[in-house]
Amino acid sequence: MGDAVELSTLLVVDGESVTSDPWVLAGIKVQAEIVDHHKGAKIDILKYKNKTGYRKRIGHRQQYTAIKVTGIPSAAK
């Protein structure tokens, strides 16, 4: 936690304009830091086959990473 990461930009929305042109956004990298690692809600998977007595119950919890955006450079116009 506390590590810095750079993310590629897909869309920039400021007060009056929306920029989604990939040529303009190619050089923009969003700076963020990792805040937390945690697990999501449990998903239950139930498998059942009729007339055979086959029942299977398994679960899954997805790993999530929470980030905090620390800087977004402005798009060159």
How do residues 22-67 score in pLDDT, each as one tens digit? 887 887 888 999 999 999 999 999 999 999 999 999 999 999 999 9
pLDDT score, position 76: 53
Whole-angstrom Cα distance, residue 6 to residue 73? 12
pTM here is 0.61
The phi, psi pair for 58, rounded to 5°, reads -130, 165
pLDDT, average across residues 3-26: 83
21 to 14, 26, 30: CA distances (angstroms): 14, 9, 16
pLDDT of residue 26: 82
Give the pLDDT of residue 13: 79
Q: What is the pLDDT of residue 57?
A: 96
